[in-house]
Structure 1
Amino acid sequence: MARIDIRGVIIPNDYKWYYDWFEEDSTCPRDVQKVIDAYPNEMHDIYINSPGGAIDVGSEIYTMLRGHAAGIKIYITGQACSAASVIAAAGYCEMSPTALLMVHCVSSRARGNHSDMEHMAEVLRTADRALCTAYMNKTGMTEREVLDMMEHETWLNAQQALERKLIDKIMFEQQEPELMTASMFALPSKEQMERARTLAMAPEMERAMMNLKLLELEGAGKWEEKSI
């Protein structure tokens, strides 16, 4: 199993030298592709702690991960904001109870006259609708529900992200709730049933030896035979 870290700003490939020069965390598509190419048939663990970055780069990485045939498992360890939250929607995702996830609308630094501003507004609305499909596919929410969440720059803790189905599990929590019963006797634990299954499937001689180990002594030197 290989590991991919999505850390720092999400940037195009040709920006990478700049961030590396100043020893700042960053992730570009080439970083991700190198790991996928090195381990093409292995499932990948993806660890995200990123404030986001370029939306087209986030989309490219999202597409790489979602298309990885061997599968991925995503962990949000610090923050998954903006473009990083799109990447987090690429597959099964767990989130640290102390982490944050943020979704918002696409922004730009447009300049020009009123026609330029009106044109850019339409471009941004189109980009919002394109990116919201990642959240829709992950959660089952409608386009209007997702766009409303994006327009309000929504910050979510792990529990809120789980409730909206943006993640699949909160890290470190038990996967299965404790089985509760209403009876006068206790059900066997999963560990006990697994030991019994092992004994039942063992060869006859091996099972006999295991049975000997289950003989219990109440006093000293006297065994009470028990069978499986």
Structure 2
Amino acid sequence: MNKKKTYFQMKKKAENKGEIYIYGDIVSNKWDDTDVTAVDFKKELDQLDNVSEIDVHINSAGGNVFEGHAIYNMLKMHKAKVNIYVDALAASIASVIAMSGDTIFMHKNSLMMIHNSWVMTIGNSKDLRETAELLDKTDQSSNSAYLDKATNLSENELKQMLEAETWLTADEALEKGLADEILGASEIAASISNDIYQTFKHVPENIEKDVDKITNVESIKETVETPKNTMSPEEKEEREQIIKECKSLKTIYNF
């Protein structure tokens, strides 16, 4: 019996072909087994050795902008042919990672969401101006990734889509040049955590909201293994307290 796939996993699918699953939030500090960091990504990518082709499966609501840009650049610079599969959702910075693909496949019931990056911050007027300038720079990097892929998409149209927080169906992404091919319907359901749901403005009604999971485990239980809870009750309580304190202090978040 084949070993079930975890939420974040890389392996050799064949002698010259690698397989990557990004089924969780993109973060700088890993809290859960579902989380993906650029450091972990690089370690796993290096272990694929000299593969000539990589299949990347994405079902993620996004997360940290800088970590996502690092992952995008790693895939973009890799000598292998990169095939991106949007299994259910590629939102926010996960949609930028998707742009690293030489070919981007979307299932006909999958979604892609693009928007301008945002932060929650604290400080004086100088600090806020510096933060605004930083946001402009991160948006410029993300915009370059979209425009490099979607050569028929004008910069002005992209800007309008980003400002509006645009949720694209597979057909719409194909029309805009943000996808190359549409596959049959996927059994994997798009789902986002409650925290991330609250950061988005126009989440479609058909996307599931759940506090504790990113993907609909029931719909993919034959292929994706539910990560084990490795945190003790004390660690979980401490994590929740840190999150509450960060929100109350308006600490920087990137999505």
Normalising by structure 2, report the TM-score: 0.62
133-142 or 26-35: bigger deviation: 26-35
User: What is the CA distance between 1:142 and its match in structure 2?
Assistant: 3.1
The aligned counterpart of 1:198 is: none
Closer, same or farther in 2 for the Cα pair 1:120/1:29, shift >3 Å? closer
The aligned counterpart of 2:182 is: 170
The aligned counterpart of 1:39 is: 48
Separation in 2 of the partners of 1:131 and 1:9?
17
1:16-66: CA deviation from partner (whole Å, max 9, x where unpaired): 2x213xxxx111123322332222221111000000000001100000111
38-47 or 117-126: bigger deviation: 117-126
8 A contact 1:133–1:143 mirrored in 2: no
8 A contact 1:76–1:96 mirrored in 2: yes
1:60-103: CA deviation from partner (whole Å, max 9, x where unpaired): 00001111102111100010000100000001110111111000
Alignment match of 2:142 (pick from 131, 152, 155): 131
The aligned counterpart of 1:6 is: 22
8 A contact 1:129–1:147 mirrored in 2: no
The aligned counterpart of 2:162 is: 150
Alignment match of 1:78 (pick from 74, 88, 93): 88
User: What is the CA distance between 1:121 and its match in structure 2?
Assistant: 2.1
8 A contact 1:49–1:77 mirrored in 2: yes
The aligned counterpart of 2:113 is: 102
Paired residues, number: 166
Separation in 2 of the partners of 1:34 and 1:60?
13
The aligned counterpart of 2:132 is: 121
Separation in 2 of the partners of 1:131 and 1:118?
20
8 A contact 1:103–1:155 mirrored in 2: yes
User: What is the CA distance between 1:119 and its match in structure 2?
Assistant: 3.1
| Residue type at the aligned position of 2:37 | C
Q: Give SS of 1:111's match.
A: coil
| Residue type at the aligned position of 2:139 | D
**RMSD (CA atoms):** 1.6
User: What is the CA distance between 1:112 and its match in structure 2?
Assistant: 2.4
User: What is the CA distance between 1:116 and its match in structure 2?
Assistant: 3.0
1:149-181: CA deviation from partner (whole Å, max 9, x where unpaired): 1111000010001000101001139xxxxxxxx
The aligned counterpart of 2:61 is: 51
Share of identical aligned residues, percent?
A: 37
Where do 5+ consecutive residues of structure 2 fail to align?
1-16, 186-255
Separation in 1 of the partners of 2:40 and 2:124?
39
Q: Give SS of 2:177's match.
A: coil
Closer, same or farther in 2 for the Cα pair 1:116/1:41, shift >3 Å? same
Q: Give SS of 1:2's match.
A: strand
Separation in 1 of the partners of 2:124 and 2:80?
49
Larger Rg: 1
Closer, same or farther in 2 for the Cα pair 1:142/1:40, shift >3 Å? farther
Q: Give SS of 1:129's match.
A: helix
Separation in 1 of the partners of 2:123 and 2:45?
42
| Residue type at the aligned position of 2:74 | M
